[in-house]
Chains A and B, each alone.
Chain A
Amino acid sequence: MNTEIASVGGGAFAIVRRMIDRITELPLSVILCLLLLAIFVLSSIFAPLLVDQSPTYQDLIRRMQPPAWVEGGSVDYLLGTDRLGRDVFSRLLYGGRISLAVAGLAILFGASVGTVIGLWAGYFGGIVDAVVMRAVDVLLALPTLLVAIVLAVAVGPSFWNVVFVVSFLLWPKIARQVRGELLAVKEQDYVKYAEGIGRSSMSVMLRHLLPNVTPSLVVVSTLELGHVVLLEASLSFIGAGIPPPHPSWGVMVDEGRALMATGWWLSLFPGLAIMLTVLIFNTLGDWLRDTLDPRLKLR
């Protein structure tokens, strides 16, 4: 306790010290995941600095080269080339941009819409609540990928359409979570007090209710990130997601499918990238749930 107080008043050095202490207290798996996530995100953002070749540059003379460490491979193409002579490593990095961007944007939109609707339905109740929650029930009663496929085919394959489809499938889960949480919170005394002294509904929702549902919102969103990455990859794999020649990981696995017999590396690496990303988000989500919201664990 004493060291705690001392370090609070100890200036910048102590603050850094405390941050390092905090980080080293994390479980090893979480540190590893955070590191990997940082690598994934940074290598996607700085892809142009890391690889010379454009992900869509074709070089038919150098097509179907195996990875560098396999006989016949070259160091210029670390993970080999595909049937059009495009660099698989370059495509993997640029593909990360697309897959991570879709996941991030879809969570942002889906969670925002879900939160607003959940807050609204939970706080005001009544007919709006009943109708919205019925709709949520129906949407959640359908197998996600099936709806995603039909919807994606309906709007056509493009980056923003995939973001839209995935967000559309996400908001009901968030809305249900927020609403459920809210029903307990809004009966608390401080909420009643805020209403009693004449605060507007908007102010009560934003200043008193939203902060209380934020922890579980963060947990659910992180856990959903894994699903979102998988969903985008599945859609792109089927051909209803990111259109070629853009290198989404799902598209790359699909392109490798036709060449399974001659080019095992084409499907292997993008698939591994998807798996690792989902693994990272699931592990972080589980950890956040255990630390931020132990009640969720019981369910």
Chain B
Amino acid sequence: MIRYILERLLQAILSLIGVTIVVFAMVNLTGDPSLVMLPEDATAEQIAMVRHELGLDRPLAVRYLLYLGDLLQGDLGTSIRGLASVPVGRIIAERLPATLELGAAAVLLTFLIGVPLGVYAGYWKGSSFDVAARVFAVLGQSAPPFWVGIILIIIFSIHLGWLPAGGRGGIIHLVLPASTMAWASIAGVTRLIRSNLLETLDTDYIRFCRIKGQSETNVIWKHGLRNAGIPVMTFSAVITASLITGSVITETIFTWPGLGKLLIDSIGFRDLPVIQGCILVFAAVYIVLNLGVDLLYAFLNPKVRVG
């Protein structure tokens, strides 16, 4: 177990270092930011001066090591957008709560809707409810999230006028963006819970529970779901990924002031430090959550725990 934890930890650290290299290399391919910052008729000397100020005239490897050194001290650099040099760390810290709020709401929706949907569909296999849930699950996994968001806005904001189409505010502002983000993962969880529950309900210990005279509620929700639910944990890595991806697109559609929108806006301005920072935070969240899920899974699964 300890060996497994250490191995997994090392892998996560390697991934993180890999991320910094990949991000640094990719971002430095996006073109010279000094050209965006200066007017078009800037002289060669002016360009050289700005490049020197930004440290862009140094070799790539040196710039990477400097970047990594700053990173370890918690310094993500300063934004090059606008005149005031604002630390990237502060910009991200300002935006992060909005993204976390949206993400948490989406996760909540995923489980609150996905789990019961999957359980009922699996329990009443072949019923019209089951058919409806399966159609929803298949459509949910095929529909592009950006399109779902737009259709939701057209229906609920423009035609019915029930919900706001953008901005951050109370719970009412959360409904549409969180539904858009959760859409695909609800479909995934429903499908997974349904098929796992079908398998679980066919086992001897469930039959034994029923012979013992336990109530159906107990059999399904306590014994059935507990076993059918474990694979959902492995699926949470997929959910996390889809939520991170989703936040970029959803925040853009709903003008939600979070990290995803910040990233897209910064790409337009070629604001390299901010782009690096956003990707790094997203990737770190993703890697750490994956690590947590793997370790928890190992802890819950005796085969891995002992072996």
Task: Write the residues of chain A forming the contact surface with B, with a CB cutoff of 8 angstroms.
Answer: 134-135, 137-139, 141-147, 149-151, 153-155, 226, 230, 233-234, 237-238, 240, 250, 253-254, 256-257, 260-261, 264, 267-268, 270-271, 274-276, 278-279, 282-283
**B143:A142 contact, CB within 8 angstroms:** no
Other-chain residue from B19, B150, B165, B275 in contact with A142 (beta carbon distance below 8 A):
B19
Residue of A nearest to B249 (CB): A234
Q: Which residues of A contact B290 (CB under 8 A)?
A: 141
Q: Which residues of B contact A147 (CB under 8 A)?
A: 22, 26
**A153:B248 contact, CB within 8 angstroms:** no
Q: Which residues of A contact B19 (CB under 8 A)?
A: 138, 141-142
Residue of A nearest to B268 (CB): A239
Distance (whole angstroms) from the CB of A216 to the closest CB of chain B: 20
Complex CA distance for A279 and B142, rounded to whole angstroms: 5
With A154-B29, A234-B146 given, name 10 new contacts (CB 8 A): A146-B282, A149-B263, A150-B30, A154-B27, A226-B142, A238-B248, A240-B267, A253-B147, A260-B158, A271-B143
**A146:B14 contact, CB within 8 angstroms:** no
Complex CA distance for A154 and B23, rounded to whole angstroms: 11
Residue of B nearest to A233 (CB): B144
**B158:A143 contact, CB within 8 angstroms:** no
Distance (whole angstroms) from the CB of A225 to the closest CB of chain B: 12
- Of residues 110 through 151 on chain B, the ones whose CB sits less than 8 Å from some CB of chain A are 138-139, 141-147, 150-151
User: What is the predominant secondary structure among interface residues of chain A facing chain B?
Assistant: helix
Complex CA distance for A226 and B184, rounded to whole angstroms: 14
By size class, the interface of chain B is 35 or more
Other-chain residue from B11, B143, B154, B283 in contact with A260 (beta carbon distance below 8 A):
B154
List 14 A-B residue pairs with CB atoms under 8 Å apart, sorted by A's residue number: A138-B14, A141-B283, A142-B19, A146-B282, A150-B23, A151-B26, A155-B29, A233-B144, A238-B248, A238-B252, A253-B144, A260-B165, A274-B144, A274-B147
**A257:B150 contact, CB within 8 angstroms:** yes
Other-chain residue from B244, B252, B286 in contact with A141 (beta carbon distance below 8 A):
B286
Complex CA distance for A242 and B27, rounded to whole angstroms: 20
Q: Which residues of A contact B146 (CB under 8 A)?
A: 233-234, 237, 250, 253-254
Counted as pairs of residues, one from A and one from B, with CB atoms less than 8 Å apart, the total is 128
**B248:A150 contact, CB within 8 angstroms:** no
**A256:B150 contact, CB within 8 angstroms:** yes
Please, what's the 1-or-0 string for B21-34, where 1 marks a CB less than 8 Å from any CB in chain A? 01100110111000
Q: Which residues of A contact B283 (CB under 8 A)?
A: 141-143, 146
On whether A134 and B14 interact (CB within 8 A), knowing A149-B267, A260-B154, the answer reads: yes
Complex CA distance for A279 and B31, rounded to whole angstroms: 37
Q: Which residues of A contact B275 (CB under 8 A)?
A: 150
Distance (whole angstroms) from the CB of B144 to the closest CB of chain A: 5
**B154:A154 contact, CB within 8 angstroms:** no
CB of B18 closer than 8 Å to a CB of A: yes
Q: Which residues of B contact A137 (CB under 8 A)?
A: 11, 14-15
Other-chain residue from A139, A143, A150, A155 in contact with B241 (beta carbon distance below 8 A):
A143
Complex CA distance for A233 and B275, rounded to whole angstroms: 22
Other-chain residue from A134, A154, A230, A283 in contact with B144 (beta carbon distance below 8 A):
A230
Q: Which residues of B contact A274 (CB under 8 A)?
A: 143-144, 147
Distance (whole angstroms) from the CB of A65 to the closest CB of chain B: 18
Please, what's the 1-or-0 string for B284-299, where 1 marks a CB less than 8 Å from any CB in chain A? 0011001000000000
**A261:B158 contact, CB within 8 angstroms:** yes
Q: Which residues of B contact A234 (CB under 8 A)?
A: 144-146, 245, 249
Complex CA distance for A143 and B267, rounded to whole angstroms: 17
CB of B96 closer than 8 Å to a CB of A: no
Residue of A nearest to B184 (CB): A230
The listed residue with most A CB atoms (<10 A of its CB), out of B142, B241, B249, is B142
CB of B88 closer than 8 Å to a CB of A: no
Q: Which residues of B contact A238 (CB under 8 A)?
A: 248-249, 252, 264
Please, what's the 1-or-0 string for B238-252, where 1 marks a CB less than 8 Å from any CB in chain A? 000100110011001
Complex CA distance for A143 and B153, rounded to whole angstroms: 26
Q: Which residues of A contact B165 (CB under 8 A)?
A: 260
Closest 10 CB pairs of A and B: A271-B147, A138-B18, A154-B29, A278-B142, A279-B142, A145-B245, A141-B15, A154-B30, A275-B143, A143-B244
CB of B197 closer than 8 Å to a CB of A: no
Residue of B nearest to A154 (CB): B29
